[in-house]
Structure 1
């Protein structure tokens, strides 16, 4: 399977730069995976496709202000750090620009010196293993000095960081938002719950590796970065009971999908656990847990468009994306939504 099989033409002006003020008024394309039929709705209409007893599974991770602008201690040259993974004991895996300045032993300063860092190691992917030094709580230092790590196609910083958080975000740890969830409002979630739908919360801390481009021709040779996830007993039991009753498991976003599919056995029973997953889902994969997916419109040749193609079929997805372009749907993190049923 070739990476170019997942290419489509996307006009740059369709890349959304700001979220809608009223989150649930985004466009919603409904794609019926068995027939390829397409409906055009608005996001709050998603409730029409949910029934009592179904499970709506949401990733409650919260984005940390993981982008740090600082200087190299000896030369005072400007540097940018993006925190990727907390290794414990004040050690993080970090993306550094420019990387050539971040050799083992190099030191860096942020703010007025409230935070400093030393490079301990360089990974095979070119990220750095860094130890941070500070007084007080790291979270408070980060809140003061850090910025939201917006994707590179978002050209301006947000006026309010909460615009890049889901309304149900809870557990801090992500370097990027689970963006399919950005469309939900508290009111819509209450309406969905009042209909008898089970709201199930799981956690996967999204790393920038999720958005790493596929640099190999052969899709099967791509390696995913590992991301930390948590599925508690209540979540697992609720999903398993719904499946036994023949109800739908509707996943909100590719991160929730990967978490569910990584935490189940061969029969599709979700097992309570926490750990790391590098599951890579592409066409040919047989889904064991989810029945339907709420997602955004993804980058050409990305692992995300491969995942949705695994669920709905590559031809259906590429046709849907062509129609989305024709109908001026907004793409990527702050863009419109798709429901695959």
Structure 2
């Protein structure tokens, strides 16, 4: 099996990349692909085009200021980019509540200037008082962070860190990004990139959708920096997919089972979450080890016919009294994938030769994605994280 990544590109010029979000959020452009036709709308009109019985699934992760800067006594600047927690747990809510010490796997900028046994020191301010924060290197790019005061790590990183904007924006973060690079429904801290399809939603849009009977549910996938990793392999299947953590509640599963007919994820992270949950359930039904970890090509193996309802009911049964399930996925969705849960997608316009573009192609088809992106370019749509939106209903 081979996916030639060179087939998944299109001309994208710098002027098409949105450096800042549209204001107001819900007046960005909306490309609608429905019944085989393309039309051009405004995002706040999205309720006019959602099918009857639509049930939106949104990712309520919250971006943390994961980019930390420390200055050595020599004046050298060291950048620490938090990727995945290692201690006291790999489960993000536990780590964000920690009040003493955390260890993260990181990308370290200017690492050669940071001596192995050197402890870096910084300062942050909370409630009018100044506190110290220390960073110490471990093995394999692990960094231990300790701090003064009994503050939860979520408060510390919020006070000290910087919002990690996507590298293709080619600008430093600024104060407005603290709100602009969050969805209005963000809640659970832990992502290092925003689920940007949700940036267009406002309270007014949600009120309109509720009045139309459109249901919504929230799942949490903490978006990792790997979402921006370019595909460098000629065969995209050799690309090392990043693993991301998903947290699923009992309430969410019950809501999906109550109205499973027309599930439409908001963003590729919600789609990856929903489809991964299906495969978690398949693993449970098949009695496989490590049921809550989906390898990138697991869906393309031979599996018995299992419905989405059967899979989600298996997850509910496994959940027991815990109230939630926590797992990881590195699922890779590309043309030939059969969607088990999702009937459409709300998403922005993605980078050429990216795994997210492969996902869109898997949903709408090889020729259709090219037609959509060509027309978006001709109609002056803004692309990537702060860009315009699309509603795809194949």
Q: TM-score, normalised by structure 1?
A: 0.92
Aligned equivalents of 2:354 and 2:114: distance in 1? 28
Q: Indicate yes or no: 2:154 matched with 1:139.
A: yes
Aligned equivalents of 1:326 and 1:157: distance in 2? 30
Aligned equivalents of 1:76 and 1:170: distance in 2? 37
Aligned equivalents of 2:86 and 2:222: distance in 1? 13
1:99, CA displacement in angstroms? 3.8
Which sections of structure 2, spanning at least 5 residues, go unmatched?
89-101, 125-130, 283-305, 317-324
Deviates more, 1:81-90 or 1:58-67: 81-90
Aligned equivalents of 1:104 and 1:110: distance in 2? 18
1:213, CA displacement in angstroms? 0.8
**CA deviation profile, 1:65-106 (whole Å, cap 9, x unmatched):** 111111246x44211111111223201111111244457545
* Mapping of residues 1-341 of structure 1, within 5 Å: 1-32=3-34, 35=36, 37-72=37-72, 75-89=74-88, 90-101=102-113, 105-111=117-123, 114-122=132-140, 128-136=141-149, 137=151, 138-154=153-169, 155-160=171-176, 161-243=178-260, 247-264=261-278, 265=282, 266-269=306-309, 270=312, 271-272=315-316, 273-341=325-393
Aligned equivalents of 1:110 and 1:95: distance in 2? 18
Q: Is the 8 A contact 1:211 1:303 kept in 2?
A: no
**CA deviation profile, 1:216-248 (whole Å, cap 9, x unmatched):** 1101111211111112122112222322xxx31
Aligned equivalents of 2:113 and 2:354: distance in 1? 29
1:141, CA displacement in angstroms? 2.1
Q: CA RMSD in A?
A: 1.8
**CA deviation profile, 1:132-169 (whole Å, cap 9, x unmatched):** 11123222221221111011122242332111110000
**CA deviation profile, 1:44-67 (whole Å, cap 9, x unmatched):** 121112345321000000011111
SS in 1 for 2:259: helix
Which sections of structure 1, spanning at least 5 residues, go unmatched?
123-127
Q: Is the 8 A contact 1:68 1:110 kept in 2?
A: no
Which residue matches 1:125? none
